[in-house]
Amino acid sequence: MSRKVMVSCAVTGSADTPARNPAVPITPREVAASAIDAAKAGAAIVHIHVRDPQTTRPSMDPALYREVVERIRDSGSDVLINLTTGPGARFIPGLDNPLKPGTGSTLSLPAERVRHVVELVPEICSLDMGSMNMGNQVFMNTPPHLEEMAVSIRDAGVMPELEVFEAGHLLLAKRMIETGHIKPPGLFQICLGISWGQPATPEAVTYMRNLLPPDCVWFAFGISLHQFPIAAQTILLGGHVRVGLEDNLYLEKGKLAPSNAVLVEKATKIIDMLGDHIATPAESRKILGLGKT
């Protein structure tokens, strides 16, 4: 039977991608405009990072988040806003002393990583459910830090999107649901193809799906050339789809994506081809059990 499938668009991310594709939005105005266009193309949710407009590097500045959120809300769009809490978790050991953070480390207190979420109260925010080697860096999310962040998110009335990059992350998320840090049944995002996490393969999607708690809502995405094959696999397995320039810069082999909206449009065509229907923001709120704020 056909069902409603949500599309989430990850608009810009934190990676050094603007130099590789000029369509990657940088300023708050650009991020908000790209998110609004993605919503018009069929995205029910927009996942937001912010960047320093001068350096294009990832930022944790609450003022930048506030401008993006206000621009989206003031536009009249009813798209669900999902703010990241990922920045502030990078650790690079010092060259002379590995006990001290080296250049590029961004480790921050849990309260700092969720400050913009508590202040702006989006419908959703991401919560990365564990530590891992990410390229040549460590993405550090210890259980005590995650528990503190989860409580702040819960008490703010925001739904955490539990980003899981490998099986251990998913098991920790289930444990935090059991302990009451996260409300059941949980909203999960299965993240595939990131070095050095779970690979972007049909077997990996199926394996991770089978570990999920009953009755939860889940999304999945694959990065780069895996974006649309994993989208199709996810739909077939009963999940929801994430696309966007955070995860993939190309529309097809050798052709840069000109916008987030075009990636969303391609995802909606896959949903239609597989016999399902695109969920509107209003329908997505019902699926997620959220009241419109």
Q: Would 293 be classed as within a structural domain? A: no
Q: Which two tokens stand for residue 71?
A: 């621009």
Whether 48 is in a domain gets the answer yes
Q: Is residue 86 part of a domain?
A: yes
Q: Alpha carbon of 52 to those of 56, 111, 116, 158, 286: distances in Å?
A: 5, 21, 15, 25, 35
Among 150, 146, 167, residue whose Cα is nearest residue 158:
150
pLDDT at 265: 98
* Burial of residue 95, with CB atoms counted within 10 A of its CB: 0-12 exposed, 13-18 middle, 19 or more buried: exposed
Residues of the chain with pLDDT under 50: 292-293
- Predicted pLDDT at 272: 98
Q: Is residue 136 part of a domain?
A: yes
Residue 130 belongs to domain with CATH number: 3.20.20.70
pLDDT in tens, 149-188: 999 999 999 999 999 999 999 999 999 999 999 999 999 9
| pLDDT value of position 210 | 98
- Pairing state between β 240-243 and 7-10: parallel
Is residue 164 domain-resident? yes
Residue 16 within a domain: yes
Q: Is 263 within a domain?
A: yes
Q: Does some domain include residue 12?
A: yes
Tell me the pTM: 0.95
Domains in the chain: how many in total?
A: 1
What is the Cα Rg of the chain in Å? 18
Domain that holds residue 112: 4-288
Phi, psi (degrees; rounded to nearest 5) at 164 = -120, 120
DSSP assigned state of 102: -
Which among 49, 67, 50, 188 is positioned nearest to 120, based on CA atoms? 67
Q: Give the Cα separation of 239 and 10 in Å (integer).
A: 17
